[in-house]
């Protein structure tokens, strides 16, 4: 809402005529106090809205950080390396010896 200088002067003259010059300072103080209360109420509402909208976002951010921390500790190659290193040793003992190590190995037979 934009008021020109002429409109503001007309409003000021109307206030002086209606309430008189004696009550003008008290009206200005009351009006200023009312404006301050309204601004405080608006700030409280803004703060409350920001708190309510910030909570889900911060919860999501915390969950993302938890997942990132869990991903740092997770190493699938470690499990694979354990399986590869452990299983062949057990299977080597059970399997037949290599031809180069077997003295009874005669090689491929041709027909």
Q: For residue 57, is it within any domain?
A: yes
Domain of residue 14: give its range: 9-92
Q: For residue 102, is it within any domain?
A: no
CB–CB of 35/43 below 8 Å?
no
Locate 106 and state its tokens. 């005669």
Ranges of the chain whose pLDDT falls below 70: 1, 54, 85-97, 109-111
Q: For residue 107, is it within any domain?
A: no
Q: For residue 27, is it within any domain?
A: yes
Structural domain total, the chain: 1
The reported pLDDT for the residue numbered 87 is: 52
> Which distant-in-sequence residues (6+ apart) come within 8 Å of 15 by Cβ?
24, 27
Q: For residue 106, is it within any domain?
A: no
Q: For residue 108, is it within any domain?
A: no
Q: For residue 52, is it within any domain?
A: yes
Q: For residue 82, is it within any domain?
A: yes
CB–CB of 99/105 below 8 Å?
yes
Distance separating alpha carbons of residues 36 and 28, to the nearest angstrom: 12
């Amino acid at each position: 809402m934009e008021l020109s200088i002429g409109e503001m002067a007309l409003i000021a003259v109307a206030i002086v005529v209606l309430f008189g010059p004696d009550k003008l300072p008290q009206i200005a103080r009351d009006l200023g106090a009312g404006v301050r209360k309204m601004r405080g109420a608006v700030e409280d509402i803004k703060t409350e809205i920001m708190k309510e909208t910030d909570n889900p976002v911060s919860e999501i951010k915390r969950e993302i950080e938890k997942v990132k921390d869990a991903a740092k500790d997770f190493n699938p190659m470690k499990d694979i390396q354990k399986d590869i290193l452990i299983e062949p040793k057990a299977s080597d003992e059970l399997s037949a010896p290599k031809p180069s190590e077997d003295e009874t190995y005669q090689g491929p037979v041709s027909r």
